Amino acid sequence: MITAYKKHIVSALILVSSLFITGVASAQIITIPVETQHNALVLQTDADKNLKMVYFGTRLSNTDEYTQIQKMYKQSDDSGVLNDAYTPSGSANLVEPAITVIHADGNTSLNLVYVSQAITKIDDDVSLLTITLKDPAYDFEVKLCYKTFFKEDVTEQWSVIEHHEKGTVTLSKFASANLYLKGDGFWLKQYHGNWASEMQPEESKLMHGIKTIDTKLGTRADLYTSSAFMISMDKPATEDEGKVLYGAMEWSANFKEDFEVDPANNLRLIAGMNNAASEYHLKPGEEFTTPAFLYTYSDHGKGDASRKLQSWARKYKIVDGEGPRFTLLNNWESTYFDFNEDKLKELLKDTKNLGVDLFLLDDGWFGNKYPRNGDNAGLGDWQENKKKLPNGIGSLVKEATADGVKFGIWIEPEMVNPASDLYHKHPDWVIKQPNRPEKYFRNQLVLDLTNPKVQDYVFGIVDSLFIKNPALAYIKWDCNAVIYNAYSSYLKKDQSHLYIDYGRGLYNVMARMRAKYPKVPMMLCSGGGGRVDYGALQYFTEYWPSDNTEPLERVYIQWEYSYFFPAIASSNHVTNWGKEPIKYRVDVAMMGRLGFDIVVSKLSGQELDFCHQALKNYDNLKDIIWHGDQYRLQSPWDNDAASLMYVNSLRSQAVVFNYLVNKRYNSGTKVPIRLKGLDPQKKYQVKEINLYAGAKSSIGDNLVLTGDFLMKVGVNPDVNEGRTSVVLQVDEVK
Ligand code: DGJ
C-alpha cells in the first residue's frame, strides 16, 4: 500500500509527465491536465491552437484518457460549446469575454492561441503552471497562471497581460479566470447583505442568460454581496453529497463574476476585477497582473468542499493560520467614544479579572483640534487625544503589561473626516470630485491610496504605533466608507485606473506592514463584514464578521461564513446585543476566536463565574476549534436547533455546539443528532460542558459510546426552551 505522502508524489509526477508526453506525442493537440489530489481541470488545444477547457471535476483514473476528451465535443459553429479557456473578444467570439482590448493602433479585435507552458514545483504540495497565449496578429500576450494546492484540492488562478505594441493598449476587460463547467443544471448559492446582516444566502437554479454578482463600492467590496459563492452541478449539493464548486475573488476592491449558461447548457464562469469605469491603459512592456480567483471542488458535498478551503486557508493564506490567537476584551460597546485614561485603566483591570489575554482599545482615542468624540471628526489625525489620554497610549500599554494583559488598538487609516487637520493640510490626498459637492459615508471620505505618498502616510500610521509602543500586541483595522465621487488628483488623465490602483495601493501598504510586522495579530474589519476576502486576509489573522453580535443572528452569520473561512479567523465577541443569557452568548462566540465587549463589572457573580469556567473550557478546546475539521450537523435554516462540531486530526477529541434557533412552542431536539468525523472504532465519552455552577446536565455524566454509534445513531443534546444552548465535549476513552 502506498502512503498518502507517496501517493501525492506519484500524482505530482503524473502531472509533469502528462504535460510532456501529450505535448510530444501530438504536435497539433496539446493536453494540459491541472490536477490536484482528487480533481482535474483539463485544458486542450484545438486544431487552430485555441485553448479550450474540456473537463472539470473528479480526476480520471486513467490520466492518459485526458487526451480523448476533446473528441467527445462536437466542433462546429452550431455546437453551442463555448469553452475557451480565456475568451477573447472582437474576433470570432461573440459571447461574454474574459478579455477585451483596444490595441495601440485602435483595433479592437483579439485572438489568443497557445504558445507554451511551464510548470514550477514550489514544494511537494504546491505547483504553478503558466500557459502563454499570444495574438498572432499583434505583439500581445496573456499568461494564464494556475497555482495548485494538491492535498487541499484548491486552485488559485490569475492572468498576466503584457504587450510590446507601438503605444499604449487599453484593457477594457481583464478576467482572472474563465472556467467551463459541464452539468445537468447548475445551482448558484450566493450571498447578499448589508450592515449588521452580512452573508444572507440565496440558492437558485441558473437559467440561460448571464447572472452577474458584482460590486462597485470601491472599498467595503463585500458590503452588499460577497464574491464567495458555490455552484452545485447536476442537482443542489447537500452537506455530504453532490458535486459542488466553491469560488471567490481574492480582491478587496470592485469585482465581477458572470455565470452564463451557454447554448450547449454548460456553464461559463468569468471572474475578475470589475471592469466598470475601469479601463486600464497599459504601456508596452508593462505587466498587468490580475488578482487570483480561488476555487475548490468536491463531489462529496458542501461540507467536504468547505473543509478543503478551511485547511488551505489555515495553511497557506491567513497570517499564522496554524498558530494561536488571543482572547480579548474590547471597549467599543461599553464606552463608545466616551472614555478617559482612568476609565481605560479600570477596563484593563476588568480584562484581568475576566481572564482574557488582551485589552483592545477601540475608536475614539485620537484627534486634538478635531477630537474624535463622535464619528464626525478626527479621522486622519492619529495623535492621542490629550484630554482623554494625557499620558498617551504608552502609559496604557505599560499599565496593561503591569496587569499581565496585552494591549491592542483600533485604527481606520484609509479614511479622513473633513473635520480633521489632515483634510485641511492635504485636500489632494482625498478621493472626491473637484467640481461636485462632497458626499460622505459615516461623515467621512476615503484617502487616495493610488498615490504613493498617501500609501507612505497610511503605512506610517501603523509603523509609528509600533515604533512608539513595541509591546503593542494587536491591531483592529477598520474601513467604514465606500468611494463616492471617484476622482483622484494623483491619477490625472488615468481616472479609470482609480478602483484598480486603489486595491493595489491598499495591498502595497498591507504587504509593507506584514514585511515589518509579520506575525502581530490583526483584525480585518469594515464596519462589520464589509471586507472579508482572501486578498486582504493574507495580511490578517482574523476578520470581524458583523457588528451584529445578537447571538441568534450570529448563529446564522457565522454558519454561512464558515463555508469559506476557518473558525480561527472568525472574531466572535460576547456583547449585550439581544436578550439571550450569558451562556448562549458565550457558547455562540466560542465557535471562533473568542472575545468580549461587555461591562465586566455589571456581570452578576453567577455570570462572571460562568465566564471563568467557559474560558477554562475554551482553553482546553480552542486547539480543536481553531485547527480541527469542522462538520455541520444540522442547519439553523431548517431545524429548531443548529448543530455543528469540530474534530481534531487524531479523531480523539471533538466539541459539539448546539443552539436553539426556533423559540416557538415545544421546539427543541426530539431525536438524536448524528455526529461526523469520528473514528467508528474508538470509544468516546460525551460530556456536557459550559454549565452554570451547580447545574446538572440532562444528558447524564457517564455517557460512553463508540464512534460508530455516535455517527450512525447520534446523541440528543436535549436542546429545549430551558436549555437553549448545549456544548458537548467528546473525548476518546482508551
Ligand atoms: C465599526 C466597527 O465594526 C465597530 O466594531 C467599531 O470598531 C466601530 N467601527 C468604531 O467606530
Contact by Cβ (8 Å): 256, 276: yes
CB 389 within 8 A of CB 334: no
CA-based nearest residue to 164, from 185, 128, 138:
138
- Ligand 1 pocket test: pick from 335, 362, 372 the residue with the most ligand atoms within 8 Å of its Cβ: 362
Task: Give the integer Cα–Cα distance in Å for 647 and 650.
Answer: 8
Q: At what angle do helices 582-589 and 605-627 cross, to 10 degrees?
A: 20
Ligand 1 site, residue 527, Cβ cutoff 6 A: yes
Q: Which residues contact 734 (CB under 8 A, 6 or more apart)?
A: none
**Opening angle at CA 500, ends 194 and 418, nearest 5:** 65
Residue 5's pLDDT is 32
Nearest CA to ligand 1 atom 11: 363
Contact 408 CB / ligand 1 (< 6 Å): no
Residue with cell string 482623554? 388
Is the Cβ–Cβ distance between 543 and 565 less than 8 Å?
Answer: yes
Nearest CA, atom 1, ligand 1: 527
Q: Which atom of ligand 1 is nearest to the CA of 527?
A: 3
Degrees (nearest 5) of the Cα angle 51, 57, 62? 85
Q: Which atom of ligand 1 is nearest to the CA of 410?
A: 7
Cell numbers placing 13: 509526477
Cα separation, 228 vs 632, in Å, equals 19
pLDDT of residue 272: 98
Nearest to 357 by CA among 691, 596, 610: 596
Residue that the C-alpha cell 495580511 belongs to: 539
- Cα–Cα distance for residue pair 101/345, rounded to 1 Å: 59
> How far, in Å, is the centroid of ligand 1 from the Cα of 617?
29
Torsions phi, psi for 182 (to 5 deg): -105, 135
Q: 61: CA distance to ligand 1 center in Å?
A: 52
Q: Looking at residue 80, what is its pLDDT?
A: 86
Q: In this predicted structure, what is the pLDDT of residue 3? A: 33
Q: Does residue 332's CB lie within 6 angstroms of at least one atom of ligand 1? A: yes
Cell 481605560, located at residue: 344
Instruction: Give, in order, the Cα–Cα distances in Å from 93 to each of 133, 320, 702.
Output: 16, 44, 68
- Rounded to the nearest angstrom, the distance between the alpha carbon of 444 and the centre of ligand 1 is 14
Distances (CA, A) of 587 to 555, 569, 671: 10, 17, 22
State the angle between helix axes of 452-468 and 498-516 in degrees (0 to 180), rounded to the nearest 10: 30
529 within ligand 1 shell (Cβ under 6 A): no
Q: Give me ligand 1 centre to Cα 331, in Å.
A: 11
Which value, to the nearest 10 degrees, does the dihedral of the CA atoms of residues 15, 16, 22, 28 take?
A: 110
Residues 6+ apart with CB under 8 A from 451: 429, 488, 489, 490, 505
* CA angle centred on 399, ends 396 and 405, rounded to 5°: 100
Longest Cα–Cα distance of the chain, Å, equals 81
Q: Give the count of beta carbons closer than 10 Å to the beta carbon of residue 140.
A: 24
Cα atoms in the Cβ-side hemisphere of radius 13 Å centred on 171: 29
432 within 8 A of 485, measured Cβ to Cβ: yes
Output the pLDDT for position 77.
81
The residues that bridge with 706 in the sheet, in sequence order, are 683
Determine the distance separating the centroid of ligand 1 and the alpha carbon of 341, expressed in angstroms: 20
Residue 595 Cβ inside 6 Å of ligand 1? The answer reads: no
Mean pLDDT by 10 residues, the chain (734 residues): 32 37 56 98 96 97 92 83 96 95 98 98 98 98 98 98 98 98 97 98 97 98 98 98 98 98 96 98 98 98 98 98 98 98 98 98 98 98 98 98 97 98 98 97 98 98 98 98 98 98 98 98 98 98 98 98 98 97 98 98 97 98 98 98 98 98 96 98 98 95 95 98 98 97
Q: In this structure, what is the dihedral angle of CA atoms 690, 691, 692, 696, given to the nearest 10 degrees? A: -170
Q: CA-CA distance, 627 to 322, in Å (whole number)?
A: 7
Does the C-beta of 478 come closer than 6 Å to ligand 1?
yes
Query: Which candidate, 615, 596, 491, 490, places its Cα nearest to that of 549?
Result: 596
Residue 391 has a CB neighbour count (10 Å cut-off) of 12
Can you tell me the distance from the alpha carbon of 595 to that of 544, in angstroms, rounded to the nearest whole number?
11
Amino acid (one-letter) located at 24: V
What's the distance, CA 52 to chain centroid? 29
Phi then psi for residue 186, to 5 deg, are: -135, 135
In ligand 1, which atom is closest to the CA atom of 528? 3
DSSP state of 314: I
Cβ–Cβ < 8 Å for 726, 658: yes
- Is the sign of the CA dihedral 374, 377, 381, 385 positive or negative? negative
Identify which of 76, 73, 92, 272 has the alpha carbon closest to the alpha carbon of residue 182: 73
Count other C-beta atoms under 10 Å from residue 71's C-beta.
11
